[in-house]
Structure 1
Amino acid sequence: MTAPSQNCSETFVHASDVPVETVGEGITRQILSYGPDLMLCRLWFDTGSVGDVHRHPHSQISYIESGRFLSVVNGREQELDVGDSVIVSPDTDHGISCIEAGSLLDIFNPQREDFLATGEEKS
């Protein structure tokens, strides 16, 4: 098996082999598959956890796997349940808060190089 480069994951990624890192109070993340132009991450949120409003130069889609969330994009709020999604254009203010503990998938274009450069493994 060839080791992945810093900007590209293995072709096949088994979630059980990927570390989970704490990224905020009550929020953990797995960086799954990624290449220079695309990145997939899974995040888990405890009830009441908040992903503060922020912006970045990446396009983003979030897909709700479980739980319930309140998403805000450019000041507009929408409650999201299992199976719902939200798309965020580059350089757009957005954030999310967890109403009921759950998980979501975040897809970014291009990859979040800042995610690859930081973070500590959670045991």
Structure 2
Amino acid sequence: VSLYEVAAAFYQLKKEGDDSLLRQVVKPVENVLTPFSSIYVKDSAVDAICHGAQLSVRGISKLETPIIPGQPVLLKTLKGELIALGKAAQGHGWMLKADSGIAVHLLRVVMPIGYYPKLWKSRK
């Protein structure tokens, strides 16, 4: 996609209010990262991850296998929104069986803080 196509699509949106062309040229970042395995995170853990917390096994809702230790993984909400990129600390077999422990070490958080409500408690 060229910059001209993006500009033309944006012009069409501004002039006519039609976003169909813009939707054809601009795709969500989740579409680009499809080769990576995904871990779907419980809503209660999303804001903690946005603040930089590592993903614990207790925060996992479901997995796309295979997940290999040391390989990059995507952390997504249950709606499929990208939260962060991380490196798997353990394999999918361990994640499914474990009751506690770190499952993913964060590399980069994508979702802004406060996008999901804070459902975790801070220590005092």
Query: What TM-score do you get using the length of structure 1 for normalisation?
Result: 0.31
Higher strand share: 1
Higher helix share: 2
Query: Which protein, 1 or 2, shows the higher relative CO under an 8 Å CA cutoff with sep ≥ 6?
Result: 1
Larger radius of gyration: 2
Query: What TM-score do you get using the length of structure 2 for normalisation?
Result: 0.31
